[in-house]
Amino acid sequence: MDIGTYYQPSRKITAYDVPEGVDIRGRFDEEFAKILTKDALQFVADLQREFRNHIKYAMEYRKEAKKRYNEGALPGFDPTTRYIREGEWTCAPVPPAVADRKVEITGPVERKMIINALNSGAKVFMADFEDALSPSWENLMRGQVNLKDAVDGTISFHDKARSRVYKLNNQTAKLFVRPRGWHLPESHILIDGEPATGCLVDFGLYFFHNFATFRQAQGQGFGPFFYLPKMEHSRGRRRWRVLKGEASGPPF
Protein backbone atom coordinates (compact mmCIF):
# COMPACT_ATOMS: atom_id res chain seq x y z
CA MET A 1 0.00 0.00 0.00
CA ASP A 2 1.34 3.47 -0.84
CA ILE A 3 0.80 5.65 2.21
CA GLY A 4 1.03 8.71 -0.08
CA THR A 5 -2.38 7.79 -1.50
CA TYR A 6 -3.96 8.36 1.90
CA TYR A 7 -1.72 11.04 3.39
CA GLN A 8 -2.35 14.40 1.75
CA PRO A 9 -0.65 17.11 3.82
CA SER A 10 -2.33 20.48 3.47
CA ARG A 11 -0.69 22.40 0.63
CA LYS A 12 1.75 24.98 1.92
CA ILE A 13 1.99 28.18 -0.10
CA THR A 14 5.65 28.91 -0.84
CA ALA A 15 5.53 31.64 -3.48
CA TYR A 16 4.09 35.13 -3.60
CA ASP A 17 0.86 35.64 -5.53
CA VAL A 18 1.92 38.39 -7.92
CA PRO A 19 0.04 40.51 -10.46
CA GLU A 20 0.86 40.50 -14.18
CA GLY A 21 4.35 41.83 -14.92
CA VAL A 22 5.64 41.58 -11.34
CA ASP A 23 8.37 39.14 -10.29
CA ILE A 24 9.68 38.71 -6.75
CA ARG A 25 13.29 37.57 -6.40
CA GLY A 26 13.43 37.77 -2.59
CA ARG A 27 13.01 34.83 -0.21
CA PHE A 28 9.45 33.67 0.53
CA ASP A 29 8.28 34.23 4.09
CA GLU A 30 4.73 33.87 5.40
CA GLU A 31 5.04 37.17 7.31
CA PHE A 32 6.31 38.99 4.21
CA ALA A 33 3.43 37.52 2.19
CA LYS A 34 1.01 39.52 4.37
CA ILE A 35 2.74 42.66 3.07
CA LEU A 36 3.45 41.45 -0.49
CA THR A 37 -0.19 40.82 -1.32
CA LYS A 38 -1.34 40.86 -4.93
CA ASP A 39 -3.26 44.11 -4.42
CA ALA A 40 -0.36 45.85 -2.68
CA LEU A 41 2.02 44.77 -5.45
CA GLN A 42 -0.45 45.98 -8.06
CA PHE A 43 -0.46 49.38 -6.31
CA VAL A 44 3.36 49.52 -6.39
CA ALA A 45 3.41 48.39 -10.05
CA ASP A 46 0.87 51.08 -10.98
CA LEU A 47 3.05 53.75 -9.33
CA GLN A 48 6.13 52.40 -11.09
CA ARG A 49 4.44 52.41 -14.52
CA GLU A 50 3.08 55.90 -13.98
CA PHE A 51 6.35 57.43 -12.84
CA ARG A 52 9.16 55.39 -14.38
CA ASN A 53 9.82 57.71 -17.31
CA HIS A 54 9.95 60.74 -15.02
CA ILE A 55 12.35 58.90 -12.70
CA LYS A 56 14.61 57.82 -15.58
CA TYR A 57 14.67 61.39 -16.86
CA ALA A 58 15.49 62.79 -13.40
CA MET A 59 18.31 60.26 -12.90
CA GLU A 60 19.79 61.05 -16.32
CA TYR A 61 19.56 64.75 -15.50
CA ARG A 62 21.50 64.14 -12.26
CA LYS A 63 24.26 62.36 -14.18
CA GLU A 64 24.45 65.21 -16.68
CA ALA A 65 24.54 67.81 -13.90
CA LYS A 66 27.32 65.92 -12.08
CA LYS A 67 29.32 65.78 -15.29
CA ARG A 68 28.96 69.55 -15.70
CA TYR A 69 29.98 70.21 -12.05
CA ASN A 70 32.99 67.91 -12.46
CA GLU A 71 33.99 70.03 -15.43
CA GLY A 72 33.85 73.18 -13.29
CA ALA A 73 30.27 74.45 -13.68
CA LEU A 74 28.67 75.78 -10.48
CA PRO A 75 25.23 74.66 -9.26
CA GLY A 76 22.56 77.31 -9.74
CA PHE A 77 18.82 77.71 -9.54
CA ASP A 78 16.39 76.40 -12.14
CA PRO A 79 15.40 79.43 -14.28
CA THR A 80 11.87 78.03 -14.71
CA THR A 81 11.26 78.47 -10.95
CA ARG A 82 12.51 82.07 -10.81
CA TYR A 83 8.91 83.34 -10.49
CA ILE A 84 8.62 81.40 -7.21
CA ARG A 85 11.87 82.74 -5.77
CA GLU A 86 10.94 86.28 -6.74
CA GLY A 87 7.21 86.06 -6.01
CA GLU A 88 5.20 86.94 -2.88
CA TRP A 89 3.91 83.85 -1.12
CA THR A 90 3.54 82.15 2.24
CA CYS A 91 3.68 78.45 3.18
CA ALA A 92 0.51 76.56 4.06
CA PRO A 93 0.19 76.10 7.84
CA VAL A 94 1.81 73.03 9.35
CA PRO A 95 -0.88 70.47 10.32
CA PRO A 96 -1.58 70.79 14.08
CA ALA A 97 -0.69 67.12 14.64
CA VAL A 98 2.94 67.81 13.76
CA ALA A 99 3.23 71.50 14.61
CA ASP A 100 5.56 70.67 17.52
CA ARG A 101 8.59 68.80 16.15
CA LYS A 102 11.13 70.29 18.55
CA VAL A 103 12.68 66.93 19.42
CA GLU A 104 12.87 64.10 16.91
CA ILE A 105 14.46 60.69 17.10
CA THR A 106 15.40 58.54 14.16
CA GLY A 107 16.58 55.01 13.60
CA PRO A 108 16.07 51.94 11.44
CA VAL A 109 12.75 50.09 11.09
CA GLU A 110 13.96 47.40 13.50
CA ARG A 111 11.28 46.04 15.84
CA LYS A 112 12.68 46.88 19.29
CA MET A 113 14.05 50.25 18.20
CA ILE A 114 10.67 51.24 16.74
CA ILE A 115 9.04 50.60 20.13
CA ASN A 116 11.83 52.35 22.03
CA ALA A 117 11.76 55.34 19.69
CA LEU A 118 7.96 55.71 19.80
CA ASN A 119 8.12 55.49 23.62
CA SER A 120 11.16 57.79 23.92
CA GLY A 121 9.32 61.02 24.76
CA ALA A 122 10.44 62.66 21.49
CA LYS A 123 7.69 64.44 19.55
CA VAL A 124 8.46 62.62 16.31
CA PHE A 125 10.01 59.31 15.36
CA MET A 126 11.35 59.20 11.83
CA ALA A 127 11.43 55.50 10.92
CA ASP A 128 14.15 55.13 8.36
CA PHE A 129 14.27 52.91 5.26
CA GLU A 130 17.13 55.12 4.02
CA ASP A 131 20.66 55.35 5.33
CA ALA A 132 19.96 54.09 8.88
CA LEU A 133 19.00 50.74 7.30
CA SER A 134 20.98 48.28 5.20
CA PRO A 135 18.49 47.67 2.38
CA SER A 136 18.55 43.86 2.50
CA TRP A 137 15.37 41.99 1.61
CA GLU A 138 15.02 40.82 5.22
CA ASN A 139 15.44 44.31 6.71
CA LEU A 140 13.08 45.96 4.24
CA MET A 141 10.27 43.43 4.48
CA ARG A 142 10.57 42.97 8.26
CA GLY A 143 10.53 46.76 8.51
CA GLN A 144 7.17 46.86 6.68
CA VAL A 145 5.76 44.17 8.99
CA ASN A 146 7.04 46.09 12.05
CA LEU A 147 5.58 49.41 10.91
CA LYS A 148 2.18 47.88 10.17
CA ASP A 149 2.11 46.41 13.69
CA ALA A 150 3.19 49.81 15.07
CA VAL A 151 0.42 51.66 13.21
CA ASP A 152 -2.10 49.02 14.33
CA GLY A 153 -0.84 49.56 17.90
CA THR A 154 -0.16 45.83 18.36
CA ILE A 155 3.63 45.85 18.06
CA SER A 156 5.51 44.02 20.81
CA PHE A 157 8.95 42.49 21.23
CA HIS A 158 10.08 39.78 23.65
CA ASP A 159 13.75 40.05 24.59
CA LYS A 160 14.17 36.49 25.85
CA ALA A 161 17.78 36.97 27.05
CA ARG A 162 16.65 39.74 29.38
CA SER A 163 13.15 38.39 29.93
CA ARG A 164 11.71 41.75 28.97
CA VAL A 165 8.62 42.48 26.90
CA TYR A 166 8.47 45.75 24.96
CA LYS A 167 5.09 47.38 24.18
CA LEU A 168 3.89 50.83 23.19
CA ASN A 169 3.14 53.42 25.90
CA ASN A 170 -0.17 55.28 25.83
CA GLN A 171 1.64 58.43 24.63
CA THR A 172 3.89 57.90 21.63
CA ALA A 173 5.87 60.02 19.19
CA LYS A 174 4.25 60.89 15.86
CA LEU A 175 5.43 58.44 13.23
CA PHE A 176 7.12 59.70 10.08
CA VAL A 177 8.47 57.24 7.51
CA ARG A 178 11.49 57.95 5.36
CA PRO A 179 11.43 55.91 2.13
CA ARG A 180 14.66 55.48 0.21
CA GLY A 181 15.75 58.23 -2.20
CA TRP A 182 14.78 58.22 -5.89
CA HIS A 183 18.20 56.87 -6.89
CA LEU A 184 18.07 53.46 -5.17
CA PRO A 185 16.65 50.47 -7.10
CA GLU A 186 14.95 47.49 -5.43
CA SER A 187 16.45 44.53 -7.25
CA HIS A 188 14.30 41.94 -5.43
CA ILE A 189 11.14 43.23 -7.12
CA LEU A 190 11.05 43.34 -10.91
CA ILE A 191 8.29 45.24 -12.68
CA ASP A 192 8.03 44.57 -16.41
CA GLY A 193 11.53 43.07 -16.22
CA GLU A 194 13.18 46.09 -14.53
CA PRO A 195 14.08 46.59 -10.85
CA ALA A 196 11.42 48.60 -9.05
CA THR A 197 12.36 52.02 -7.66
CA GLY A 198 13.23 51.60 -3.96
CA CYS A 199 11.21 54.59 -2.74
CA LEU A 200 8.09 53.47 -4.61
CA VAL A 201 8.36 50.06 -2.92
CA ASP A 202 8.88 51.57 0.57
CA PHE A 203 6.25 54.27 0.14
CA GLY A 204 3.80 52.09 -1.79
CA LEU A 205 3.74 49.12 0.59
CA TYR A 206 3.61 51.28 3.73
CA PHE A 207 0.94 53.57 2.30
CA PHE A 208 -1.18 50.72 0.95
CA HIS A 209 -1.28 48.83 4.24
CA ASN A 210 -1.58 51.74 6.67
CA PHE A 211 -3.47 54.58 5.01
CA ALA A 212 -6.91 53.30 6.06
CA THR A 213 -5.80 52.76 9.67
CA PHE A 214 -4.54 56.34 9.94
CA ARG A 215 -7.70 57.70 8.45
CA GLN A 216 -10.03 55.57 10.61
CA ALA A 217 -8.15 56.20 13.84
CA GLN A 218 -7.22 59.81 13.41
CA GLY A 219 -9.19 61.41 10.57
CA GLN A 220 -8.03 63.77 7.84
CA GLY A 221 -4.83 65.69 8.43
CA PHE A 222 -3.23 63.09 10.69
CA GLY A 223 -0.97 61.16 8.40
CA PRO A 224 0.57 58.97 7.29
CA PHE A 225 3.49 61.41 7.38
CA PHE A 226 6.63 61.07 5.26
CA TYR A 227 10.16 62.45 5.36
CA LEU A 228 11.34 62.66 1.77
CA PRO A 229 15.11 62.47 1.46
CA LYS A 230 17.82 63.34 -0.96
CA MET A 231 16.06 65.47 -3.49
CA GLU A 232 18.38 67.41 -5.74
CA HIS A 233 15.83 69.31 -7.81
CA SER A 234 12.32 70.74 -7.40
CA ARG A 235 11.29 68.13 -9.98
CA GLY A 236 11.78 65.38 -7.37
CA ARG A 237 9.56 67.24 -4.90
CA ARG A 238 6.86 67.76 -7.54
CA ARG A 239 6.95 64.05 -8.33
CA TRP A 240 6.22 63.22 -4.69
CA ARG A 241 3.38 65.73 -4.59
CA VAL A 242 1.70 64.22 -7.64
CA LEU A 243 2.40 60.70 -6.42
CA LYS A 244 0.85 61.22 -2.97
CA GLY A 245 -2.08 63.03 -4.53
CA GLU A 246 -2.73 60.14 -6.90
CA ALA A 247 -2.35 57.57 -4.15
CA SER A 248 -4.78 59.19 -1.72
CA GLY A 249 -7.12 61.40 -3.68
CA PRO A 250 -6.61 65.03 -2.66
CA PRO A 251 -2.96 65.97 -2.01
CA PHE A 252 -1.99 66.10 1.66
Ligand X SMILES: CC(=O)SCCNC(=O)CCNC(=O)[C@H](O)C(C)(C)COP(=O)(O)OP(=O)(O)OC[C@H]1O[C@@H](n2cnc3c(N)ncnc32)[C@H](O)[C@@H]1OP(=O)(O)O
Binding positions for ligand X, rule: CB under 6 A: 105-108, 112-113, 116-117, 128, 131-132
With CB under 6 A as the rule, give the number of residues binding ligand O=CC(=O)O.
Answer: 2
The nearest distance, CB 131 to ligand X, in angstroms, is 6
Q: How many CA atoms lie within 13 A of 227 on its CB side?
A: 19
| Residues 186-245, interacting with ligand O=CC(=O)O (CB under 6 A) | 229
Whole-angstrom distance, CA of residue 50 vs CA of residue 61: 19
Main-chain dihedrals φ then ψ at residue 156, nearest 5 degrees: -150, 165
Nearer to ligand O=CC(=O)O, 32 or 129 (CB): 129
Tell me the per-residue interface mask from 49 to 88 with ligand O=CC(=O)O, x by CB under 6 A, - otherwise: ----------------------------------------
**Nearest Cα to Cα of residue 26 among 200, 189, 194:** 189
The CB density around residue 33, as the number of other CB atoms within 10 Å, is 16
Main-chain dihedrals φ then ψ at residue 244, nearest 5 degrees: -70, -35
Task: Provide the strand spans (E) within 45-115.
Answer: 104-108
Nearer to ligand O=CC(=O)O, 107 or 195 (CB): 107
Nearer to ligand X, 108 or 181 (CB): 108
The nearest distance, CB 117 to ligand X, in angstroms, is 4
**Nearest Cα to Cα of residue 48 among 233, 202, 235:** 202
Nearer to ligand O=CC(=O)O, 131 or 149 (CB): 131
Residue nearest to ligand O=CC(=O)O (CB): 131
Nearer to ligand X, 59 or 132 (CB): 132
Residue nearest to ligand X (CB): 107
Q: Where does residue 45 fall: left (phi above 0), alpha (psi -120 to 50 degrees), or beta otherwise?
A: alpha
Residue count (the chain): 252
Q: Does 131 bind ligand O=CC(=O)O (CB under 6 A)?
A: yes
The nearest distance, CB 43 to ligand X, in angstroms, is 27
Whole-angstrom distance, CA of residue 237 vs CA of residue 242: 9
User: From the list ligand O=CC(=O)O, ligand X, none, which binds 204 (C-beta under 5 to 8 Å, kind-based)?
Assistant: none
Nearer to ligand O=CC(=O)O, 46 or 131 (CB): 131
Dihedral angle computed from the Cα positions of residues 130, 135, 139 and 141, in that order, rounded to the nearest 10 degrees? 90
Whole-angstrom distance, CA of residue 168 vs CA of residue 218: 17
Contacts with ligand O=CC(=O)O, residue ranges (CB under 6 A) = 131, 229
